[in-house]
Amino acid sequence: MYSEDSYLLLSGIQHYAFCPRQWALIHMEGQWDENYLTAGGRILHNKAHGSQITEKRGDLIIFRGLKVHSSELGIVGECDVVEFHKSDAGIRLKGYSGLWCPYPVEYKRGKSKLDDCDRLQLCAQAVCLEEMLCVEIETGALFYGEPRRREVVEFTSELRAKLKDIVENMHKLYERKHTPKAVKRKSCQSCSLKDLCLPKLGETDGGSVIKYLEMHLS
Ligand code: SF4
């Protein structure tokens, strides 16, 4: 169990899963450099977030901008959208009759990714909701802006174990205030911090990042 003053931001999980150094630069050193990918994501997020807006449509209640936390993981954050579906397996919600099952939905720019960065962030939201509401959540969804489609995510034991491992490592690094060294990889091309982290990427051969990576990663 973590004390509240050691909670880390849930949104950092996707950064850490993408690159531990990126997470440390943003969340420990306070560096942030917006590129077109992060700007697009921010606009999509702003559309999804209200300030704790609730909407009811028949057997569905929608909460936007719901604040969540987990003392077991030591994280705090906000869910884009949490849907509550009427179900006998659900929980009671103050002000609503019947039983309701929570279903987190996270909005993302672009397409579904091969890596688990987005799935881990959604899984972290589910773990927070489970702890806060004493309920089990088996699935949630990622809504991607480009195909404008939902991808259902199963919160498997493997995904939960990976999440626990990542968050433990985040806490260890944060306690030590240690920023990992840069490890160049192809994903550095789309990293919002590449000019801060690897300034040489932008200086070589007229700024051709691809050529630089081909030279150094082959
Ligand atoms: S440029 Fe590469 S190594 Fe540096 S923070 Fe971004 S992904 Fe990590």
Give me the residue spans of the domains in the chain: 4-180, 182-218
Residues shown for the chain: 218
- Residue 28 per-residue DSSP state: T
Distance 24 CA to ligand 1 centre (A): 10
Distance 189 CA to ligand 1 centre (A): 8
Per mean pLDDT, which range of 3-12, 54-63, 198-207 is the poorest? 198-207
Average pLDDT score over the chain: 86
Confidence of residue 141 (pLDDT cuts 50, 70, 90): very high
Q: What's the CATH fold of domain 4-180?
A: Lambda Exonuclease; Chain A (3.90.320)
The pLDDT assigned to 154 comes to 98
Residue 200 structure tokens: 């040489």
Distance 44 CA to ligand 1 centre (A): 24
pLDDT digits (tens, 9 = 90+) for 10-52: 999 999 999 999 999 998 887 765 554 455 455 555 555 545 6
The pLDDT assigned to 188 comes to 92
Whether residue 208 is predicted with pLDDT greater than 80 in this model: the reply is no
Higher pLDDT, 83 or 209: 83
Confidence of residue 113 (pLDDT cuts 50, 70, 90): confident
Nearest CA to ligand 1 atom 1: 194
Nearest CA to ligand 1 atom 2: 188
What 3 state SS string does 50-71 have? CCCEEEEECCEEEEEEEEEEEC
**Whether 85 contacts 99, CB under 8 Å:** no
Whether residue 205 is predicted with pLDDT greater than 80 in this model: the reply is no
Confidence of residue 125 (pLDDT cuts 50, 70, 90): very high
Closest ligand 1 atom to residue 182 Cα is 3
